[in-house]
Amino acid sequence: MLDTLVSEMEPKANSCRRYVASLSDKVCRLRKTPTKYSPGLFQTRRGIFYTDSEELKAALSVSAKLYNFEISIKEIARNGTILELNRHVCELAEESVIGIIDGTGGQSTEFIQALCDILELPHVTIKHNDIKENSYILNLHPSSMAYDMVMKKLVARKEWEEFTILYLKGYSLIRTNSLLQLNTHNDRYVVTLRELNGNDYRDVLISAKESGYVNFVVDCPQENVPIILQHAQEVGLLADEHSYIFVSPDLFTLDLERYRYGGVNMTGLRLADFEENEDLWNFAFNFNKEFVYAHEADQLTSEILLIHDAVLIFSKATEKMKYGLKRPEGLSCENGTSWNHGSSLLNFMKTNKVEGFTRTLTFNGHGDRHNVIFDVLELTPAGNITIGTWNNNNLTISRPILAGSDIVEETIMKNRTFKVLIATSAPYGYVKESSDQLEGNDRYEGFTIDLIEKLSEILGFSYEFEVELEYGTKDPQTQKWNGMIYQLMEDKADFAICDFTITSLRQSAIDFSTPFMSLGIGILYKTPSKQPPEMFSFMAVFSKEVWYYMVLVQLGLGVIMIFVGRISHKEWQNPVPCIEQPEELTNQFSFANSVWLIIGSVMQQGSEIAPIALAPRMITSVWWFFTMVIVASYVGTLVAFLTVEKNVLPFETLEELYKQKSISYGAKSKGSTLGFFQHSPNPILAGMYKKMVDNHWLVATNDIGVAKCENETYAFFMESTSLEYYKERHCDLLQVGDSFDSKSYGIGMKKGSPYKKYIDYGLRKLKESGEIQKLKNIWWKEKRGGGKCGIKRDEEQKQLGLKNMLGAFVVLGVGCLIGLFISIIDMLWGVFKRTVKYNTTFKFELIEELKFALKFSGDTKPVKRHQKAQGSSDSLAEAEAKDEIKSLRSIKSGRSTDTNRTHHSHSSKHSGLSMAFAKRREYS
């Protein structure tokens, strides 16, 4: 029997409070009555849950009755204090429990484990957690490693090379660790992460949709899955091009009826085997009697089933130890006493192989459950079907030909004749052109005509066509439908197949099959006449940012060359070689000369300026390499920009079209495309709808809209599949921009039609075999003038952006840095030599050199002679004599210190230097 006791007990001081962590918990207890195999033995177990876990309490009650346990439950609210949890666990120890079943998870599990470790009480948890290296815990929930392996195998089996992992904020990603590593260990895979924040996930999902993501792995708690699915459907991420894998083992316990017919591929896992498991169905029956809400067996979550398996594993272990298990008496948190038989009992539980509702329960040395068996399930229009199993770390896919619900009445459509509504809308339906008198179904041809023929071959039915041009709209006054929808509702037809868009409004009146084609809305417009190249088209070879950087680099390099030239010792040359000891030295690197050298290199004309020192030569060499790459890239692309004529579109986006005054635009007057504009909350789209209606720009059929595009300044909104069809036959038309909105075509039928699941199965089979794509290629690109225009190639040449030229800029930058480093070393060496030569301080010479170099003015430099503060003129005479001897050696050897250089000096400068030289010689 189950008692609920809410107790307010005074806090007890005990040594276990150091393990406290912020959490809230629920405490319940289990007592096992003396068993027939062990007279007098009193065994007790306790379970810990959150207060509002009503389903888990009911599961505990039912399981206790099955295995002859008497239980009582102690509760703590979710906002309860840790001291309460600590007090209740210690009280349970004093009441001679033999173990604790934990249904809380998170930090509460860590706290309970800390207490159980001290008391040496077996601790069994049913929640996902990653506690490691603990002796007294048994985790019945499959280990993270098991999920990690099966996720990796499923992604490989689906051949996903690009996918997104959706995870809840703060939730562990350890169950998808291998998937995250694919992105770093293999260039073949592109893995992205999207964090789901707060309670509204639509912004994150919209961002994923705009990024083009179609494959998703969802790793989050089970309670968050319904809202994720709802928001994904609302933003259009549950169409037939989308595919999902859910890590949660309870996906298919949810009611997924509303998602069955969207075409989305949804894969999940299941722990329990519901086929031929009589005990499980009996448990479900008893559970429904205990619990307020009725559940089918396959709606029981894994946590409910794990509660049963936790009780079962305790029962099996105590049965094995029936002659050796003694009641734990006098356990106390305050005294630190522990149960001598606790480790033995837990070892029996770890090593005992038990078959539970969640299949075989086996554990490793840390108490983690391994070698888990999963069923792999997939959502289909026929319901949930098992497509494979995960067993012994191997994934086996064995997709059945038909789901169980399909084959119950597989002959229901055979040998029956159905009335099928069609529309003569190209390329979905045509009236066949023939010189003979045609009757019946032979009068028509087209994509949907062939599609219904393929379905009839699979399902064994016959059909007769009837043309209906009105798809169906709802009168706002009478609230009645017309067209195809009306006929389906009134049983005047069985199916409607054409470019029949699935909308929520239409779904309120009729049912649709799983989509056989997905599409969007595009803008059809006449191809503009080609424009000759602009006057300054030669500037378009590089993007603006490249031109900006080129100018900045040249100016910056000019400054660098001046600085390097001024601090490089060898760049200061004797302007008159015949003068051995000049008063001044000159430098060729003025700003004008530096810029001239740079510009001459870019123009491939060279310059009379020739660097002498190593550093300027290195920088110049790197600059020449840079200009070689830039010039070669420019010349190689220039021809195309001067000769190719481009299409200049008057608009490229909806916003630009809306602002146009000279271009009219419209859509079919009756259809889902116009409805998209009519019901859109976007003010631009709503404004476009108003203009289309007020100016009478709407047309009755696609053919009229296409003709207006060809003959007028008119843009036509139409579904992307139809747009693609017309582009193949009207070579002067093109699609402007990308498609927007997302919708699908389906086969319409009466609400609650018994034939829906068979039609869905036939369409799914045609999709998987590629037949639908083959039919589309035939009617879009081959028949009725298809392929007339061939492949349109975009002749517009792409500009060379900074990312294309980045390597050349990097080489230039690195070379300049190396040159600067060498020039600084050269300057320091020159400073050191002058310090030794003239017996001055290094600091003084360095400061004087930098002052002169950083002035960036003047191309002459005086030869410094420093007198010693205390000393004679002998040292100066000796230094000058050394200079003269060195100069004489240079003359004798026939070499000048400034060879390979062209000097340009004014006569006044020569005469001034000559006079200074004469005075100096005379003074000597």
Can you spell out the DSSP letters for 160-216? -SEEEEEEETT---GGGHHHHHHHHH-TT-EEEEEEE-SS--HHHHHHHHHTT--EE
Q: Please report the pLDDT score of residue 198 as a whole number.
A: 82
Distance CA 58, CA 290 (A): 6
Count of all residues that appear for the chain in the document: 924
**Cβ(468)–Cβ(497) under 8 Å?**
no
Query: According to the annotation, is 501 in a ligand binding site?
Result: yes
State the chain's mean pLDDT as an integer. Answer: 76
Residue 244's H or E segment, with its range, is strand 243-246
Residues 6+ apart with CB under 8 A from 689: 674, 677, 678, 680
Annotated binding residue 889:
no
For 44, the 3-state DSSP assignment is strand
- From residue 566, give the alpha-carbon distance in Å to each of 586, 621, 624: 10, 18, 21
User: Could you tell me the residue ranges of all domains in the chain?
Assistant: 4-142+301-366, 144-285+373-405, 409-516+746-795, 521-530+652-742, 539-640+802-923
Highest average pLDDT, of 64-68, 216-220, 582-586, comes from 216-220
Give the mean model confidence (pLDDT) for residues 371-392: 85
> Which tokens hold the place of 543?
């993007």
Distances (CA, A) of 246 to 144, 200, 220, 377, 378: 14, 19, 8, 10, 10
What is the distance in angstroms between the CA of the first residue and the CA of the last residue of the chain?
125
**In this structure, which topology does domain 521-530+652-742 adopt according to CATH?**
D-Maltodextrin-Binding Protein; domain 2 (3.40.190)
Closest CA to 831 of 849, 815, 855, 813: 849
CATH assignment of 144-285+373-405, among 3.40.50.2300, 3.30.2350.10, 3.40.605.10, 3.40.50.800: 3.40.50.2300
Long-range contacts of 228-236 (CB under 8 A, 24+ apart): 228/166, 228/196, 228/201, 229/254, 229/256, 229/259, 231/200, 231/201, 231/202, 231/205, 232/201, 232/205, 233/258, 233/259, 233/262, 234/202, 235/202, 235/205, 235/206, 235/209, 236/209, 236/742
CATH number of 409-516+746-795: 3.40.190.10
The lowest-confidence range among 4-13, 174-183, 320-329, 702-711 is: 4-13
Q: Which residues contact 850 (CB under 8 A, 6 or more apart)?
A: 567
C-beta separation of 612 from 918 below 8 A: no
Helix or strand (DSSP H, E) at 65: helix 54-66
More confident residue, 882 or 422: 422
Q: For 4-142+301-366, CATH number?
A: 3.40.50.2300
Residue 113, CB-side half-sphere exposure with 13 Å CA sphere: 24
**Beta-bridge partners for 83:** none
Mean pLDDT score, 253-272:
84
| Residue 464 CA from chain centroid, whole number | 48
Give the pLDDT confidence score for residue 693 in this predicted structure.
92
Q: Are strands 495-496 and 417-422 parallel, antiparallel or unpaired?
A: parallel
pTM of the model: 0.47
Share of the chain above pLDDT 90, in %: 14
Residue 374's Cβ-count burial label (10 Å; 0-12, 13-18, 19+) is buried
CA distances from 758 to 71, 241, 257, 455 (A): 50, 21, 16, 9
417 is in an annotated binding site: no
Q: How far is CA 852 from CA 572, 828, 840, 849, 860, in A?
A: 12, 14, 17, 5, 10
pLDDT per residue over 530-559, tens digit each? 655 565 566 777 788 888 888 888 788 878
**Which of the four pLDDT bands, split at 50, 70 and 90, describes residue 867?**
very low
46 confidence band (pLDDT: 50, 70, 90) = low
Identify the residue with better confidence: 420 or 33: 420
| The token pair that represents 509 in the structure block | 């009146």
Q: Looking at residue 626, what is its pLDDT?
A: 83
Same topology, domains 144-285+373-405 and 409-516+746-795? Answer is no
User: Is 669 a known ligand-binding residue?
Assistant: no
Rounded Cα gap, residues 100 and 94, in angstroms: 13
pLDDT tens column, 386-400: 888 998 888 888 765
pLDDT above 90 for 269 = yes
Q: The sheet that has 664-666: what strands, in order across it?
A: 664-666, 714-719, 517-526, 733-745
Is 215 in contact with 163 (CB distance < 8 Å)? yes
Confidence of residue 913 (pLDDT cuts 50, 70, 90): very low
Cα–Cα distance for residue pair 731/791, rounded to 1 Å? 10
| Lowest mean pLDDT across 112-126, 296-310, 578-592 | 578-592
pLDDT band at 3 (very low <50, low <70, confident <90, very high): very low
Of the candidates 267, 232, 269, the residue with the CA atom closest to the CA atom of residue 248: 269
Q: pLDDT tens-digit profile of 494-523?
A: 999 998 888 888 988 999 998 898 888 899
- Give the integer Cα–Cα distance in Å for 167 and 175: 11
Pairing between strand 748-749 and 495-496?
antiparallel
Cα–Cα distance, 841 to 849 (Å, whole number) = 12
How far is it between the farthest Cα atoms of the chain? 133
DSSP state letter for 886: H
| pLDDT score of 858 | 63
Least confident of 6-20, 303-317, 587-601, 804-818: 6-20
Q: What's the DSSP call for residue 143?
A: P
**Please, are residues 252 and 226 in contact by the beta-carbon 8 Å criterion?**
no
For residue 302, say whether it is annotated as part of any ligand binding site.
no
SS (H, E, C) 304-371: HHHHHHHHHHHHHHHHHCCCCCCCCCCCCCCCCCCCCCHHHHHHHHHHCCEEECCEEECECCCCEECC
DSSP 91-116: HHHHTT-SEEEE---HHHHHHHHHHH
Determine if the peptide bond prior to 427 is cis (ω within 30°): yes
Q: What is the DSSP letter of 696?
A: T
Is it the case that residue 63 has pLDDT exceeding 50?
yes
Residue 95 clears pLDDT 50, i.e. is over it: yes
Radius of gyration of the chain (CA): 43
Euclidean distance between CA atoms 320 and 37, whole angstroms: 11
